[in-house]
Structure 1
Amino acid sequence: MSAETPASREVPKENRFKVWRQTRPFWAGLFTMIGGLPIAYLPYGDMRLGNVTLAMKTTAGSAALIIGVLLITLGLTMWYQPIVRVFAGVASIVLALVSIPVSNFGGLVVGFLFALIGGGMSIAWAPAPPIEKTPEAEHDSEPEASEEATYRYDSETEAVVAAGVPEQRDTYESATETTTTDANGGRNSAG
């Protein structure tokens, strides 16, 4: 800790990765990078089964390599530039779809699925809203019991009643008043 850094801004070493991971679409980037690996590798790789060599080389090998490298780059972009997560997600989905005819059915479907899921997760991810600290919240980490409201569901009137906070209780109790119609067509107020 230095004299310029306030103590409240310091994050313990064991929590740094957790905080970093929670401020960006971490899992989306990881899935996208995992999806790029089989797409890039399979057109160039050989599998050996005993004395038999299984080669999956295609004529579009360079295109598959480019798609795989771009997917890995997009996964890293999701991690280190989360502001462009929507673009990276859409680009990942498009590249995953293009990899189906280009790269052995999208890296034998495994790479395609990982890249597709990673792109969708990147589009859907949203940063958590910032936590606003008030001067009172800095002193007390938990609110007092008198400040907390408890809510109960009243099945007869189908309303939520707040207990513990007078202003909220009055508001919710006035909302529970219902108007019904009696047999003669007149209106009765029940509460």
Structure 2
Amino acid sequence: MSAETPASREVPKDNRFKVWRQTRPFWAGLFTLLGGVPIAYLPYGDMRLGNVTLAMKTTAGSAALIIGVLLITLGLTMWYQPIVRVFAGVASIILGLVSIPVSNFGGLLIGFLLALVGGGMSIAWAPAPPIEEIVDAEHDGEPEASEEATYRYDPETEAVVAAGVPEQRETYESATETTTDANGGRNSAG
């Protein structure tokens, strides 16, 4: 099933998640959601490596928590309200940039980079056209993928003619006339 296949078709139960994922900016939401976790966690959490405790507490912990929660919310918004994907993408990029000075260099640059990538993907994502538009476009007289236009050169009129469509002609000067004119009326060979 391609990205252009709409979710309106009846699909088996095992493919519902795949169809749901393809009809919204899924990966953008996932990256944005994952970007909010280190931004919100690092100012409050402690990491223990054996007997060593690593604490990165800052005075701006509440601002980092707000940024992290907003990024998680924007990631979920991208999933469940894909119509506002551009707003959510721009907001996640801005929050990712704000997290650099506020939250331990944007969650040690991990959260910052994930928020930027997720926001950019959300802005770039576009929904597939409905199946009715695809079917109508195929039957509106446009050549189908299997029909290729063929062209031939007519030496009498010095024109390129589309096969089967005589009124569509484009004239081109012959190569010798162009060479003669460029050389000031002389032939390039002599």
Closer, same or farther: CA 168–25 of 1 in aligned 2, 3 Å: farther
> How far apart, CA to CA, are the structure 1 residues paired with 2:28 and 2:173?
46
Q: What's the offset of the Cα at 1:29?
A: 0.4
> Residues 20-48 of structure 1: CA distance to partner in whole angstroms, max 9, x if unpaired?
11111111100000100000100111011
Cα distance in 2 for partners of 1:190, 1:164 equals 38
Change (3 A) 1:13 1:109: same
> 1:188 aligns to what SS in structure 2?
coil
Report the alpha carbon displacement of residue 12 of structure 1 after superposing the two structures with TM. 1.6
**Alignment: residue pair count:** 190
- Give the number of the structure with larger relative contact order, counting CA–CA contacts within 8 Å between residues 6 or more apart: 2
C-alpha deviation, 1:9, in angstroms: 3.2
What displacement does 1:19 show? Answer: 1.4
Identity of aligned residues (%): 91
1:165 to partner: Cα distance: 9.1
Q: Residues 5 and 128 of structure 2 are in contact (CA less than 8 Å); yes or no, is this contact kept in structure 1? A: no
Whole-Å Cα distance in 2 between the matches of residues 4 and 86 of structure 1?
20
CA offsets 1:120-172 (integer angstroms, 9 cap, x no match): 11111111222337889999999999856579999999999977999999999
Change over 3 Å in CA distance of 1:104–1:81 after alignment to 2: same
Change in CA separation of 1:142 and 1:4 when aligned onto 2, cut-off 3 Å = closer
Bigger mean CA deviation after superposition, 123-132 or 80-89: 123-132
Structure 2 residue runs without a partner (length 5+): none
Contact 1:99 1:106 in 2 (8 A): yes
8 Å CA contact retained: 2:28, 2:119: yes
Corresponding residue for residue 187 of structure 2: 188
Counterpart CA distance in 2 for 1:75 and 1:52 is 34
Label 1:147 to 1:46 Cα distance change in 2 as closer, same or farther (>3 A): same
Residues 114-123 or 10-19, more deviating: 10-19
**2:171 is paired with a residue of what secondary structure?**
helix
User: Which stretches of structure 1, 4 residues or more, deviate above 3 A after TM superposition?
Assistant: 1-9, 133-177, 179-191
RMSD: 6.8
Alignment CA distance shift 1:65-1:175 (3 Å):
farther
Give distance in 2, aligned partners of 1:3 and 1:188: 56
| C-alpha contact 1:161 1:173 (8 A) present in aligned 2 | no
TM-score (norm: length of structure 2): 0.70
TM-score (norm 1): 0.70
Indicate how the Cα distance of structure 1 residues 153 and 188 shifts in structure 2: closer, same or farther if over 3 A, else same: same
After the TM superposition, which of the residue ranges 37-46 and 156-165 deviates more from structure 2? Answer: 156-165
Query: Does the 8 Å CA contact 2:39/2:99 hold for their aligned counterparts?
Result: yes
1:28-79 alpha-carbon deviations (Å, 9 max, x no partner) = 1000001000001001110112222111111111111111010000000001
SS in 1 for 2:179: strand
Distance 1:92 1:7, change over 3 A: closer
Q: Measure, in 2, the Cα distance between the counterparts of 1:89 and 1:29.
A: 9
What residue in structure 1 maps to residue 44 of structure 2? 44
8 Å Cα contact 1:99-1:112 kept in structure 2: yes
Question: How far does residue 15 in structure 1 lie from its aligned partner after superposition?
Answer: 2.0
Hey, what's the Cα distance between the residues in 1 that align with 2:69 and 2:92? Answer: 11
Kept in 1: contact 2:44–2:56 (CA 8 A): yes
Moved more, 51-60 or 137-146: 137-146
User: 37-46 or 158-167: which moved more?
Assistant: 158-167
